[in-house]
Structures are given as C-alpha cells and as structure tokens.
Amino acid sequence: MVQCLVFLLCIIISQSYGDKDQVVTSRGLIIGDRHKGYSTFLGVPYAKVDLDNPFGPALEYPKFDKPFIANDSSVICPQVYFNDNGTIQCLHLNIYVPHTAAKNNLRPILVWFHGGGFAFGSGGEYGGQYLAKKDIIVITVNYRLGAYGFLCLDNPTVPGNQGLKDQIEALRWIRSHIIHFGGDANQVTIAGESYGGGAVDLHLYSRYETLFHKAIVQSGSMYVTEGIFVKPDYKAAIKLVKQLGYDVSITSEALRILAKAKPADVNAATRNLSMILTVCAEKRFRGVPNFITENPFHLGNSYRIDGMPIMIGYTSQEMLFEFANKPQSFYDNLGDPFGLQIEKTFLLSQKELEKISSIIRHFYLGYKEIGPEAQLELSNFLSDFAINYGVEWSTNRYIEQGAKVFKYLFSYTGASDYRNITGAGASHTEELKFLFDWIWANPLTNAEQLMMRERMIRMWANFVKHGNPTPVDFQPLHWPSVTETSRPYMNIDVDMQMKKGTFRHRMAFWNLFWHTYTKHNFLLN
C-alpha cells in the first residue's frame, strides 16, 4: 500500500513540474531545472545558521515540509565589501549534474570554494555547466565571511575559522546526500582559487575527518602573505560593538549585541576599523571541535596527504592588476612598495627594513625609477611575495608528505584586459573565465579563446575523474607529476609546453630571504 502511494505521489509530482528535474533525498524532495546535457539544483541549503550565535557552529537544516524549488543561486552571505545585500541564512549549495549521472552510474564530484579574501564572494558567481558537461558533478559553496565566519575569540562559542567549518558541513552534506543526485561520495575533489585555494590547502591539514580525495589549489596557499593567516584578536567582538556605539568590555556581552545587529552594520564596522578577519590558530576548549590550532609553520598531516593527487599553480603575473595602466600620480603616492609589504609580515627594525627594501628593489628594478615604466617589474615583485612563493612552499610541503603533485602556470593572455601591454602575463583570476560561467568575466567569443576553455575544462575534469589532468588518452600532451628532484610544470597557453622550475631565480631569492627572516615573521612573535 505504501509503495503504491509513493508511486502515485511521484506521478503527481512529475505531472506538476513537467520537465523539471527531481531528486528525493532524506531531507525531502528537491526540484531543479533541466538543461541541455545537465541539470541544476541552485540554492540548496546544507545547514542553518544559529541566529542566537550567528558567529558559531551551524545547525542541521530541517527537513523540507514541501518540495524545495532549487532555482535561485542569488543568495549570498553577508559581505564585508562591495555588497550589503547578504543574508544570514546563506549556507547554500549550487549543484550542476550531468544527465549521465545516476545511482547505477555515479559520477565524480568537484566542490568549489570561492575566493574573495574571506570577506566577499559567493558560490553563485560560478556557473559550473561547462565542467558538468564533461561528465562530473560540480558543486559551488556559500560559507560565512568576515566577522560571521572568522571571528577568532577566547570564547568556546566562537573559537574561530567558522567559515572553514561551514565548508566542512557542506562536505558532510555532500557525503550523505550526493548519491541521490548520482554523485560518488568516494570521488570528491575540493578546489578553490585565491583565498578559496588557501582554504583547500588548509583542509589538507585540518583536525576534521577526511571528506575528500583530491585537491586543486589555484593561486592560493596558507603561506601567502596577503593576510590569509593572522594572529587571533581576542578583543575583536568588543572593538566591533564599540564601533557600533556600545560601551562594552566583556566578549560574551559583545557577542549578544552583535548577534542582534544588522549584518550590514557589523560589516561596516569591520571596514571602518580596517579589521582583517581571516584564518587563525584556534584556542582549544574542552569538547569544542577545532579546525586548526597551530600556525602554518607547525602544521603537518602526512596521514591525509600521502598519496593524494593534488593540482596546484598560479597565473604568470598574478598582481599585474595592481599596477597595470596606472597614471604617474599613482606611483608618486606609492611610497616604498617593497618596505610596505615586508613590514606587514616581518617584525624588523627600521634600519633592517630599509636595508632589505633596497636589496629587493635592486633585485627587481635594477636602477629603474618607480613609475609606469616599471609596472611589470613591480607586478613580478608583488606576485612573488604575495602569492607565488607561498604556492611553491605548499608544493614542497606536499612532496615532503608523499602527495602526487601536478603543477601548472597559467600564461594565456588572449582574453585578458591587459593583453595590449607588451610583455604582460596573466593576472590574478584570469583562468576562472575558462573554467566557469563567471559573472565577473566578459564572454569568450573567438575560436582561440573557446579552444583554451575546452583545454582547461578537459584537464580539470580529467583530474577530478582520474587524479591526472592528462591521462594516457590525452594526446599529444603528457603532464608528469613533480618529484623531490624535479619540478616540471605545464605552461598553459596557446602553445602548451612542459617546463621546469617556475621562475626559479626569483623563487631562489625568496627561498634565501625566508630562510634568513622566518624567525621574524609576526606569527612567531
């Protein structure tokens, strides 16, 4: 009798929703949209924010009391920058499913963590249809940002790194429910770019259970020096409420006030205080799960990393956007760009700072003046210091712990806003427009650009499926993995080539620099 009722219900639902796609999960019925070659399930909630403590652990999302219509990817978490339209209940997934996926034909899964400095961005910005058409399931994730995701306090209710713990909850949801979409929970690749790539790097070392099997780290690392890892500010909640006009000196009271404040006001206070809220080494409390409790210099997890396929790389001129096409007045107001960067990361005397700044300036600029004619050299410096060396550092750590690492450099500039600058490389985020239907990119139009997209999505999908971006049938390219004695990398451009030692002279310079000054890093002082 029960089986007959279920059968009749399915017929009624099918008639009601026509060509919509339907998935029955243990949480209830989810209705998505069917497209040519794939289906989408957008804005699916994976957890619920506790409104009494929106800065702390997520709650299980209740079962749907009616079919959930999954057609809206516009919900975003509260944003520190660029947008005040975020909402607290934002813990959603966007799922792209190829029509080949079924319970008797489970497909591997790519889970995407967006970048944005843990301060802005959302999963809905990244359309996953191009990759899904390569026979993989693509899932993009919202997670809490700014104070809601990265307050790091001396308080067991908000110990820190909640945004990363949201990502853990998303991965747990995927493990439990993705089979209903035709996904293989035993073939999960986590991936991300910029701070999203840094998040992937950190997941390799977290104290949680392993919920993935491969990793892709794009232009990110926990070692990047743009503030991905900071010392905890145990007074951050008190500072925020004081900025909002309250005279409070106790963290628990500050949290009570912040929980009832408008997210736009909390984020405005964060901006006005120039407060950087990102990843920290959490304080341990009895019975409270931690994501990470050590700084990057003391992390290791060979049990998880040994044998894991990892793809990692960056663009050929990451920080070009900071200097390209700027007027002379920009450079006149720049001051000492070398010393300014070094003092953000290292605690040094003024005399030592000036000495180091002079050495770095001559290494990159020679005797050029700081101005528009030095934009490429300045871009190379900031690229190396802020991103490239950190990625190389992470690569070395993976090799030490037994990972199978595939390294790349994205050099194609045929769709770049800076392609008319002689000698310019590919800037930060440049590869994203070839992997996703990314809302911030202009459409790809000419044959060369579309050919590059086909290459990119094929290599990335191959890695998700096989743990190798160029398996045997991917001719004529062969992409060998990195070894302890060799550093091959794929130079991704119109002319695809395997090369060795990305920017090896510049990386040798920074290797010597860090060897000399690591003990002065602010995390160790």
The residues that are catalytic are 194
Q: Which tokens sit at 264?
A: 């736009």
In 3D space, the residue among 319, 469, 359, 485 whose CA is nearest the CA of residue 406 turns out to be 469
Cβ neighbours, 10 Å, residue 93? 24
Largest CA distance in the chain: 86
* DSSP type of residue 283: P
- Residues 78/121, Cβ–Cβ less than 8 Å: no
Give Cα 485 distance to the centre of its chain.
29
Run of H or E residues at 21:
strand 21-25
Structure tokens at 463: 């890695």
Q: Is 330 exposed, middle or buried (0-12, 13-18, 19+ CB in 10 A)?
A: middle
The CA distance from 410 to 412, in Å, is 6
CA distance 201 to 220: 8
Element (H, E) at 406: strand 404-410
- CA torsion 479→483→487→492, rounded to 10°? 20
Nearest C-alpha neighbor of 135 from the set 106, 92, 172, 156:
106
Query: Angle CA(323)–CA(326)–CA(332) in degrees, nearest 5?
Result: 95
Which of these, 507, 272, 230, 236, lies nearest to 394 by C-alpha position?
A: 507
Contact of 86 with 114, CB cutoff 8 Å = no
Pairing of strands 107-113, 497-500: unpaired
Determine the Cα–Cα distance for residues 173 and 62; give it in Å rounded to an integer: 13
Place of tokens 């339907």: 22
Distance CA 115, CA 219 (A): 10
C-alpha closest to that of 100 among 25, 42, 39, 41: 39
Q: Which residues pair with 305 in a beta bridge?
A: none
Helix crossing, 504-517 with 350-365: angle to 10°? Answer: 170
